[in-house]
Amino acid sequence: MCATPTLAAECAATLLDLGPARPATDVQDRLRFIRESLRKDAYHARLWSYSWGAIYSALAVGQFGAAPFVSHDSALDLYVGGGASLIGLAPLVFTPLKVMGDQERLDGFKAGEPETDPCALLARAEDSLARDAANEAEGRSLLFHGGNVVVNAGIFFLMGAGFGHWTNATISLLTGIATGEVMIFTQPVGARDALRVYRSGDLSASTAAVRIAAVPLVTRNTSGLLLLIIF
């Protein structure tokens, strides 16, 4: 989605949907809203990414590290579990949320430079907001939910049909799907919410939210819940 800048009557139409009775908002107010929204969303995105990165890294290291010290059958399950953790880590490493980079680039531009006059800077900010909103919506889409189920189903059949470890395969399937779903549902969507507010024209509305989730953790020797709080 592309957008062009708005500066009352001096700039072209934008993502902002102005009704016939709604006055145009000053371009600096719009810039300020987008910058502050992306700054908050990028912070949440980093917190989410680093938290899940740490969780999956710890699971991978723990299972790979324990594998040499257990029986052959148990080691097979641990190696598969460690590999599954790396699969969960891969999207965070190779396809990070776009808002983190966009926010840094947007904050790096200074008003007054030729390429970042108010209208051009607003256009860039709106493009970033629209792109980040679409990226976050995609991360919550059915494609990712379906991928979560398919990957964990594959691990289930590998451990069950391949090794004959149906009990561990079932535990892995249930906990893997649950953990993946919690990861998806706790992914920040601040840009998506900010875009909705921006289009409404009410730039004083808050897009902040707090999400709390409990992730079931079950391993061969321990079980419990991991509480996640995303601000």
Q: What is the pLDDT of residue 5?
A: 39
Q: What is the pLDDT of residue 4?
A: 41
Which tens digits make up the pLDDT trace of 18-74? 444 444 567 888 889 999 999 999 999 999 999 999 999 999 999 999 999 999 999
Place of tokens 């989730």: 213
Q: What is the pLDDT of residue 22?
A: 46
> Residue 195: pLDDT above 50?
yes
> Which long-range contacts does 202-211 make (Cβ < 8 Å, 24+ apart)?
203/25, 203/29, 203/30, 203/33, 207/37, 207/40, 208/40, 211/185, 211/186
pTM value is 0.81
